[in-house]
Chains A and B, each alone.
Chain A
């Protein structure tokens, strides 16, 4: 299967600074169709029928979420576009915003109409400050042409924090607070930003909306698998010849993406979905990429045979320890202890009990962390313990042997 550019059809084709080049390619026709020919409920119905699920990582059905917000009581509702893209190895939202900010604005226009929001925010990570101009210009041009009479879109810049991509921390950040995860329920569609019904969608999710409205849910739901409709934008990095952005129909094989398209050789493993993603060994390289199997944010980082498993997991855990917001103990302390253990293993100072300790900690963190960060941080540890257990065991027996040479009891 080759690449299929549906979502990205305008990227590197239109001029992201000139709305006319977008209008020439059916730009803003979907918004007009929704507002002139469809009720908000019908718009939501179309998105529901399409089977679109969130592209930010969690994969929640988009239409169902919108319906909750539509039905929620509230004098004021908000739409937030999550452009925080902090997941390691993910750069698709950057690519989309640099090349086609108009489709995003149109998608937000439709989403806001559907849920009944008059104010929307784009939460842009600080690292993407260079995209501020192109986004502002797209919003201004759309406003000038009269497409945004029903909606004010504001851009809020983050200030350097991975956890602020998590939806409840993100809302705290917009409210001018430290970005710490909130206890849930209540969930944002009923009580979100300033306690008002709020929909938070990833950039890529919103990019799908104009096409669904324009071409119909039926057309859209023909693409993909049973539970995974449409296409997905993948960010491929690591040991590949051609790192970059690839749009594929959901259900394609990992092998097609990393070997056929990106040109990986001697693959040892690929991590799919960012730092908290699943680790797929080469023996499973023909696995399908879908919500049923493995997907996450669509980040795919490839490691070849020359790479050390434990070094990789150690660096990944360091990331979580640094980015944990610190509010809940299982995540704050768990990631720290894991860094300590993996660090010892990495330098050849492991002990027999370490594997058990990693497994025990993983279970506690997954069960009791407040948000997705602590719940997902153990995934690469458990996956490598499953698929590359030998690497851990060999490292530990080497450590024990080295210590015995030095005359220290293991």
Chain B
């Protein structure tokens, strides 16, 4: 699609929907495929690079496939003081992958993240949308088993 084929914006505010559209697709597809980005650009009358720019700005959006379950371990200082490193190591051991990777069966992705606002329950992590706090390495296998 060339720039001049672009549909003009009916209303600048149409764009307000963009983040929600991308979040929705991320939830359903597990990532934002190229075709999807192109289609979204077309339907909103924006350039592909605009949509791509937004897709790559936010850490909860991904342009590469993520696993069915996304584990985000907090690595900020309050959790670090409560031994988040041990939790990172045990997840690494259980899943056999390092931060930024996805298991070959596509079941898990594992990422490090900054403060998730659960520092009163440090060390903490998000498994998909759920917070798990006051973690110890021996709790990890159970948490992982509960993920389908």
Interface residues of A (CB under 8 A from B): 85-91, 93-94, 125-130, 156-162, 173-179, 194, 235-239, 243-245, 271, 275, 299, 301, 303, 307, 312, 315-316, 319, 322-323
Contact = CB atoms under 8 A, between A and B. Distances in A.
Contact of A90 (B15, B117, B122, B130): B117
Given A88-B77, A303-B81, A179 B114 contact: no
Nearest to A91: B117
Interface in B111-132: 113-122, 126, 129-131
B143 interface: no
B115 A86 contact: yes
Interface in B37-94: 53-54, 57-61, 75-78, 80-81
B117 A94 contact: yes
11 contacts: A89-B78, A89-B119, A91-B118, A130-B130, A160-B59, A176-B54, A177-B18, A178-B53, A243-B121, A307-B81, A312-B77
Given A89-B78, A178-B53, A275-B77, A158 B119 contact: no
B147 interface: no
A401 B120 CA distance: 41
Q: Main SS of the interface on chain A?
A: mixed
A271 B114 CA distance: 17
Given A91-B120, A126-B23, A238-B119, 6 more contacts: A89-B78, A94-B117, A161-B57, A237-B119, A238-B81, A275-B76
A248 to B, nearest CB: 16
A347 to B, nearest CB: 16
B23 A157 contact: yes
Contacts of B129: 129-130
B148 interface: no
A78 to B, nearest CB: 12
A85 to B, nearest CB: 5
A88 B78 contact: yes
Q: Chain B: interface residue count, which band?
A: 35 or more
Q: Main SS of the interface on chain B?
A: helix
Most A CB contacts (10 A, CB to CB) among B75, B76, B77, B78 go to B77
A158 to B, nearest CB: 7
B17 interface: yes
Nearest to B76: A88
A160 B61 contact: yes
A127 B57 contact: no
Contacts of A86: 114-115, 117
A98 to B, nearest CB: 11
Contacts of A244: 120
Contact of A316 (B23, B53, B54, B77): B77
A179 B58 CA distance: 8
A194 B11 CA distance: 11
Contact of B20 (A87, A157, A239): A157
B92 to A, nearest CB: 19
A106 to B, nearest CB: 23
B29 interface: no
Contact of A175 (B15, B20, B115): B15
B16 interface: yes
B126 A156 contact: no
Contacts of A236: 120
A239 to B, nearest CB: 6
A127 B116 contact: yes
B76 A159 contact: no
